[in-house]
Amino acid sequence: MNSRLLLTFVPLAGLVLAGCNKTEPSVNPPPRTADTTTAAPAVALPPVETPPPPVPEGPTASEKKNTEKMRAMEVHQAELQQQLEDEKLARLEAEMATEQALLDKERAAWSAEQVSIPATVPVAAQPVLDTADYNNNSGASCDYQTFYDDLAPYGTWYNSPDYGYCWQPSVYLSDNSWRPYTRGSWNSCDSGWAWCSDEPFGWACYHYGRWAKCRQRGWVWIPGDQWAPAWVCWRKNDDYVGWCPLPPETVYNHNCTWGSTVDTDCGIHPSCYVFVPCKHFDKPVLGYCEAPSLCLRICGSTVNVTNIICRPGHVQCDGPQYDWIVHSVRRPVPRYTLAWDTGREAHSHPAHRFERDHLHFFAPKLETPWNAALRPRTTVARLENEVFVRATGGVPEKLATRFKTERTEREKALTSDKAKDKAVREILERQQRLAEMQQSRETLAAESRRHAETVKSKLAEQAPRPEAPPSGKPPRTYAGVPQQTGGDVVNAPLPGRTRTSPAVAEVPRSGTQPVTNDAVVDPKHQTSAPRFPAEEPRSRVTKPNVSEAATPAQIAAAQQAALEAQRRQAEADALAQTNALKDRQRQMDDHRAALTEQRQSAAARLAAEQQAREESARAAAVKDRTRELETARAAAMEQQRASEVAARAEQAARQREEIERQRASLEQQRRQQEVAAQAAREESMRREAAAQEQRRQAQEEQQQRRQAEEQQQRRAAEENAARQREASERHQAEENQRQAAAAAAAENSRRQAEENSRREASERDRQEQDHKRGK
């Protein structure tokens, strides 16, 4: 700012002086001071020296270059640290893969020892509960880790203080109306009603474990190890059939029976039920299930028809009677024979298939002693302060206590199994090592990500920045110092830095490539320097060759020793690299301090020279010229101030206009949103009114049907009564006729008897008269 004003004042002062040398008769000469009594000759003023070009303030090009070198060194240090972390992570992942392979081999061997029946077990039309075994039909090595791995892509795992690890499907985040046992259909089989899901996770969540409904979060699934066609309880009336998932408190009940009192015994809330009309029970549920609000009202008019028989090897899931369903749907309902696909290669989505009259499911055996020691491999969130939907009074104390006791016993059984079964003990120890490796891998991955972010930030800092605008300060001149546009102030090499050929290859940044000790490549200036002057080539720690005949303990000991050796070697390498980088940083700090001292001394010398020149220039200027310059400066400053005020006013006006436009745009957007929301509300109200009208019409039709049926029944009853009255009257008439006939016959008999008596009397009288005549 001052430099521009000074350059403006110089020609203005020349014009003022030129005007003063002209003679103007109409203007009185200026008054003389007391010490000027005689006319003095004109004295030529010394010309004003034009200041040299200003030297830019701030760090010089050499300092910028050194700063960039320091940043490059810091970035390279971060890259080395990240590369070291990547190498550790790669070694750890290789060890984890080896441990996982050995663990799978041991689990397969243990599973092969436990399975003593063929892979596929045919089920008779009427299975026997003591022999049919769902959980022993698989020869595959499966446990809860199968749940944790297969369900991770379709949802999120949580850790609940009440139930342990639980899972929620991702579909609930996009569809809040989602409920379990609604995306699929029911099919009748020899073990009751089997649920055939259309969802990719249905093979697990609807045939193992239980469901629980959180008041805020929604439905979550708790794993279980017993397979069943479906884990639901049933209700029905003349028009609807409903079902509800059993609560998690029943997941450990492998030898029990659930009947019509299951709602009270398990504390099931009516809002958890799903209802469909009876006539659509054999169709896909999603297209015919009622809304939750209507289900809550329907539940009050239904009765419980649950009949679940749980045995350690078989689960019979009976609900509505098959004949009643066939009569309700008024069409044939097929029945299937239950079968299983045991191999992992047969697992597909959805995990059921129909083959003639057989219904196949993927049902591996998951009951292993180490299930309680497993955990999901993915990130597990904490399920805190969740309230589960229960009936009034909650879960009965007896059932809750039994669930907690069984869960505690399963966790305690890990130690007892270690003492009893050597194979189980080795599997548990290997799983514990895998869990520790997993935790270490997560820590190393987090550190690697943090170092990567550090490198990115350093590289962002190294990017060229735009030049700062010129300041308003007067230019600083430096006498005897040539103006520089780039380069070093002190042309001296960095201490301890040896220039090498630029053809040296860059340091690899990948975590899988080895670290060499050739040179450090400056990513900014493409210069190379020895990385660690006194560092020896890194020795690689090779893994001991363990024969296949070695015991698992020997293999584990050898692997542990190899891991320890690699860890010590990595720590030694990291320490050496850190020390070398610290030495290089100290050298750079010393060089920076020397450059700072040189710059400060040069700046002090130039400042002293500039001050001397300014004092001589001020002493040579005359008072009149100084006053004119001050006047011109004041005028120029006033003009500039006015222009700045006008510019600020114009900028403020533009800002106000922009604010007004933004405000108008926001107001328009708000109005559009309100109109859209109003339209959405009206559309929702119309849909709700239409739905209510449909439900009302359905209810009216149902009521009319019921009234018609009642009228028909009344007419039938009246007809039956009329027919009974007619029959009674006919019977009475026949009885009267029979009585009249009997009376007439009696009268005829009496008359005949009297006639006979009269004839006999007349005959006797005649005989008596004949006898009297004969005498």
Q: What is the pLDDT of residues 681-701, one digit of tens each?
A: 889 888 889 998 998 899 899
3-state class (DSSP) for residue 182: coil
Report residue 54's pLDDT band, with 50, 70 and 90 as the boundaries: low
- The stretch 160-175 carries a mean pLDDT of 90
For position 131, what pLDDT does the model report? 32
Residue-number span of the structural domain to which 291 is assigned: 115-420
- The stretch 188-211 carries a mean pLDDT of 93
32 within domain boundaries: no
- Cβ-Cβ contacts under 8 Å for 136 (sequence gap 6 or more): 115, 116, 117, 121, 313, 365
200 within domain boundaries: yes
Beta bridge partners of residue 529, listed in sequence order: 520
For position 237, what pLDDT does the model report? 93
Between CA 188 and CA 184 the distance in angstroms is: 14
285 within domain boundaries: yes
268 within domain boundaries: yes
Total number of domains constituting the chain: 2
For position 617, what pLDDT does the model report? 72
Q: Is the pLDDT of residue 742 over 80?
A: yes
536 within domain boundaries: no
Alpha helices (runs of H) in 421-464, residue ranges in sequence order: 422-462
Q: Convert the pLDDT of each residue in 288-326 to its tens digit.
A: 999 888 888 899 899 999 999 998 778 999 999 999 999
Report residue 465's pLDDT band, with 50, 70 and 90 as the boundaries: low
20 within domain boundaries: no
CB 225 within 8 A of CB 367: yes
For position 307, what pLDDT does the model report? 93
512 within domain boundaries: no
Q: Is the pLDDT of residue 41 over 50?
A: no
For position 293, what pLDDT does the model report? 86
- The stretch 249-266 carries a mean pLDDT of 90
For position 31, what pLDDT does the model report? 44
Percent of the chain with pLDDT over 90: 19
3-state class (DSSP) for residue 187: strand
- The stretch 633-661 carries a mean pLDDT of 85
- The stretch 318-346 carries a mean pLDDT of 84
Q: Convert the pLDDT of each residue in 94-135 to its tens digit.
A: 888 888 888 777 777 776 766 543 333 333 333 333 333 444
The DSSP secondary structure of 570-610, one letter per residue, reads: HHHHHHHHHHHHHHHHHHHHHHHHHHHHHHHHHHHHHHHHH
465 against 148, higher pLDDT: 148
Map tokens 């308003």 to a residue.
472
For position 167, what pLDDT does the model report? 94
The residue from 369, 395, 420 where one domain ends is: 420
- The stretch 642-670 carries a mean pLDDT of 87
411 within domain boundaries: yes
676 against 505, higher pLDDT: 676
Q: Convert the pLDDT of each residue in 729-741 to its tens digit.
A: 888 888 988 888 8
Q: Convert the pLDDT of each residue in 394-431 to its tens digit.
A: 889 899 999 999 888 887 777 665 545 677 777 777 77
For position 16, what pLDDT does the model report? 46
The residue from 683, 705, 736 where one domain ends is: 683
The residue from 394, 420, 446 where one domain ends is: 420
Q: Convert the pLDDT of each residue in 501-560 to its tens digit.
A: 333 333 333 333 433 433 333 434 444 434 333 434 444 444 444 444 457 677 777 877
